[in-house]
């Protein structure tokens, strides 16, 4: 939790304690009154969820969220703020929810319930077998896949790269059946969930990787990406953005 207003922070702490007691939930939390301390703590601590105020002095909550997204695509972000003006911008950092203050059990508990359920679900994953090992890569953690010199390179949201011998065709069928995956070039498959920008000839992922887009495929990719973005916005508007008129 991060909020410069100590009263609001104490209120959220009280709600979390109530949630932990009522739901018998395993819940651990830390609180901060400025984003500098929050960002510093993330160098050594791993969080599943941020309850983040926006209107704070210095680096505000939205600016902090953009910085956090550059280094952590997995963490869930719930904005808790007194102003609706940043609701649209919250899409750009893939906020899970946008909640207008004051926080209450009626507003916060259903959000926490859904998140708890999501955290417990096993992730759908691509199963990979090589001569020396068997492992799986969750689809949601793959930004894109490249084939080069008979090797497949899986670029992941945590910044790591896994490589295995093989052809793109070995996994293309499974990947293209998964919502969000698209072939953008004969040597590249991309997860649109992690595309930050589409340009003529390339796209840029949230981690800053540049992926070639073939000239012939570009019109189709542009249409597919636009449709994907609209579907994301529609889902957020229907299910995730609460309390904003």
pLDDT in tens, 181-205: 999 999 999 999 899 899 999 999 9
Longest Cα–Cα distance in the chain: 59
159 and 74 inside one domain: no
- Last residue of some domain: 96, 121, 146? 121
Residue 233 is predicted with a pLDDT of 57
Residue 136, domain CATH: 2.40.50.1020
Residue numbers of the domain that contains 138: 125-227
Distances (CA, A) of 106 to 15, 103, 110: 10, 8, 7
144 and 103 inside one domain: no
11 and 104 inside one domain: yes
- In a domain, residue 233? The reply is no
133 and 161 inside one domain: yes
Q: How many residues does the chain have?
A: 245
d(CA 139, CA 47): 21
Residue 67 is predicted with a pLDDT of 92
99 and 135 inside one domain: no
Domain count, the chain: 2
Whole-model pTM: value is 0.61
Residue 102, domain CATH: 3.40.50.2300
162 and 187 inside one domain: yes
Residue 199 is predicted with a pLDDT of 92
116 and 144 inside one domain: no
User: What residues in the chain have per-residue pLDDT under 50?
Assistant: 239, 241-245
């Amino acid at each position: 939790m991060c909020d410069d207003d100590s009263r609001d922070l104490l209120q959220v702490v009280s709600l979390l304690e109530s949630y932990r007691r009522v739901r018998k939930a395993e819940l651990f939390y830390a609180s901060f009154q400025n984003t500098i301390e929050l960002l510093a703590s993330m160098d050594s601590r791993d969080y599943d969820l941020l309850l983040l105020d926006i209107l704070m002095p210095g680096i505000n909550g939205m600016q902090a969220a953009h910085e956090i997204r550059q280094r952590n695509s997995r963490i869930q972000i719930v904005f808790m703020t007194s102003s609706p003006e940043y609701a649209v911008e919250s899409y750009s950092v893939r906020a899970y929810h946008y909640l207008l203050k004051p926080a209450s059990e009626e507003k916060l508990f259903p959000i926490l319930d859904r998140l708890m359920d999501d955290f417990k679900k096993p992730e759908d994953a691509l199963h990979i077998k090589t001569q020396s090992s068997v492992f799986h890569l969750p689809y949601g953690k793959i930004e894109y896949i490249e084939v080069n010199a008979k090797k497949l390179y899986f670029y992941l949201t945590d910044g790591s790269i896994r490589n295995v011998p093989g052809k793109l065709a070995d996994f293309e069928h499974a990947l293209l059946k998964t919502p969000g995956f698209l072939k953008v070039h004969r040597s590249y498959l991309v997860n649109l969930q992690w595309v930050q920008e589409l340009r003529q000839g390339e796209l840029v992922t949230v981690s800053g990787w540049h992926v070639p887009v073939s000239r012939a495929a570009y019109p189709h990719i542009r249409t597919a990406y636009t449709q994907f973005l609209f579907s994301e916005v529609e889902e957020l508007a229907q299910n995730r953005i609460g309390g904003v008129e």
